[in-house]
């Protein structure tokens, strides 16, 4: 039986603009699904039904040309919205109501979207899994005994299970691409500077940017366009990177047309390998091999690429990650409430001296230059998204911060380098394991290369038709 969530986000927006459905009707559909399904899935920390319905009705007075006019979505719990509880996944901020909205929430409103609440995130967004002690774990809709990844885990669960058409996430080391790979979605981390409201320049090391989680490549392009140009006009963001192709039109156009032949490299090397035991699960290899075969069949050039050993990567990245935790506004009483991983990060960060942090930042800046130069001959580099299949809930060490960090690296050793280098990267859900679990691959592009990544993703999507795969909750 047909239901509204069976439509793509692009199709839902088209129905809204043509008057086939109202924003209130679409909002009511998703709120009903959230009420029915989310108790098992844990996608949301806050469901703001009344505000969502009021907002849906208010969009009728807004211009239908707005890029997300009347379309339901939600804020990640790390994004504050005035008047709503914003706990950032932490018991230390339990019940905290935001006085002001963060810029990303303001931009979401400017696009004409309807926020239905807040999606689950781990404490302050540091872990690559979403199992906060402050709330429920975000369960993988393909197997609820498994985690959904993180830190945009709740957003990924909501989109994969049909509780939202699309959702924004944020990515400082893989936090969009990891849960996208674990839940069978397209997840796009834009170039540093692409989105003004979450450019990366405001975070230590320039790591954290915002981006879309979606079921299709076109839906990802739609949400990226909305964040780049919320009013629907061309972006005026001064530091937005230039396009890497002659076509500098909407990202949705590249994601829809899917045109071009490109030179790709394929690599299974990780900058973490000199410090941690990185092993590629056979299902991760199967996903990569499948993507290579399909790209060759499409006529793209594919070469192997070896990334050099980088012994300085682990200590430099860890120092910046810990220093970022040290900036959290936590007094002693609040520090006693945070999770062991967060406490370890904060305490380690507070012990760093200025010279150590300065050297780490300088090393990562040099690494960025080396990586950009190394990848320059290629339009994109194909890599695994994850080294392992989705992890069981409770798999990560809940007491030993050092061990927990190591487990995260073992699970996702291929994502953080794109944040350090400021490069765009997209996860594509190409493979399904014999147990029915999604496994993705990652394409890392040149600076400003989102259109190339979207075009490549659209080509692969047409062949593999992953948008027709859904978890059990989809039909419930």
**Which residues are the active-site residues?**
76, 151, 175
Q: What gap in Å lies between CA 438 and CA 142, rounded to an integer? A: 8
Asked whether 423 and 444 are in contact (CB, 8 A), the reply is: yes
* DSSP secondary structure letter of residue 422: T
CB 169 within 8 A of CB 224: no
* Helix (H) or strand (E) run with residue 468 in it: none
**DSSP string for 166-218:** EEEEEESSSTTHHHHHHHT-EEEEPPTTSSGGG-STTSGGG--EEEEEESSHH
SS (H, E, C) 95-144: CCECCCCCHHHHHHHHCCCEEEEEECCCHHHCCCCCCCCCCCCCECCCCC
CA triplet 430, 140, 252: central angle to 5 degrees? 45
Instruction: Report whether 185 contacts 214 (CB < 8 A).
Output: yes
């Amino acid at each position: 039986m047909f239901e509204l969530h069976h439509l793509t986000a692009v199709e839902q927006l088209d129905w809204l603009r043509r008057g086939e459905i109202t924003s209130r009707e679409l909002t009511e559909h998703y709120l009903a699904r959230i009420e029915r399904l989310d108790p098992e899935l844990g996608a949301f920390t806050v469901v703001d039904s009344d505000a969502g319905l009021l907002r849906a009705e208010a969009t009728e007075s807004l211009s239908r040309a707005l890029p997300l006019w009347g379309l339901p979505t939600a804020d990640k719990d790390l994004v504050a919205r005035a008047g709503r509880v914003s706990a950032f996944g932490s018991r230390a901020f339990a019940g905290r109501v935001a006085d002001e909205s963060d810029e990303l929430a303001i931009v979401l409103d400017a696009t004409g979207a309807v926020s239905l609440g807040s999606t689950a995130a781990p404490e302050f967004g540091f872990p690559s899994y979403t199992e906060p002690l402050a709330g429920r774990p975000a369960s993988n809709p393909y197997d609820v005994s498994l985690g959904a990844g993180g830190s945009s885990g709740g957003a990924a669960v909501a989109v994969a299970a049909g509780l939202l058409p699309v959702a924004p996430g944020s990515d400082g080391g893989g936090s969009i691409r990891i849960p996208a790979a674990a839940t069978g979605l397209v997840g796009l981390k834009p170039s540093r500077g692409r989105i003004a409201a979450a450019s990366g320049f405001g975070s230590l090391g320039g790591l954290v940017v915002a981006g879309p989680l979606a079921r299709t490549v076109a839906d990802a392009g739609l949400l990226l366009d909305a964040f780049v140009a919320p009013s629907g006009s061309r972006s005026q963001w001064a530091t937005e990177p230039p396009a890497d192709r002659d076509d500098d039109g909407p990202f949705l156009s590249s994601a829809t047309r899917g045109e071009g032949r490109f030179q790709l490299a394929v690599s299974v090397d990780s900058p973490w390998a000199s410090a941690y035991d990185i092993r590629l699960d056979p299902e991760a290899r199967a996903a990569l091999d499948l993507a290579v075969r399909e790209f060759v069949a499409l006529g793209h050039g594919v070469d192997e690429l070896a990334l050099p050993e980088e012994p300085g990567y682990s200590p430099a990245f860890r120092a910046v990650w810990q220093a970022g935790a040290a900036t959290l506004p936590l007094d002693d009483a609040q520090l006693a409430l945070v999770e062991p991983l967060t406490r370890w990060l904060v305490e380690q960060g507070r012990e760093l001296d200025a010279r150590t942090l300065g050297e780490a930042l300088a090393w990562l800046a040099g690494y960025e230059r080396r990586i950009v130069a190394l990848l320059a001959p290629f339009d994109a580099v194909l890599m695994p998204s994850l080294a392992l299949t989705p992890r069981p809930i409770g798999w990560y060490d809940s007491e030993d911060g050092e061990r927990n960090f190591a487990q995260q690296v073992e699970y996702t050793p291929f994502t953080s380098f794109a944040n350090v280098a400021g490069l765009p990267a997209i996860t594509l859900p190409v493979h399904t394991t014999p147990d029915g679990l999604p496994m993705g691959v990652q394409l890392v592009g040149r600076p400003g290369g989102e259109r190339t990544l979207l075009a490549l993703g659209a080509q692969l999507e047409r062949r593999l038709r992953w948008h027709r795969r859904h978890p059990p909750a989809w039909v419930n």
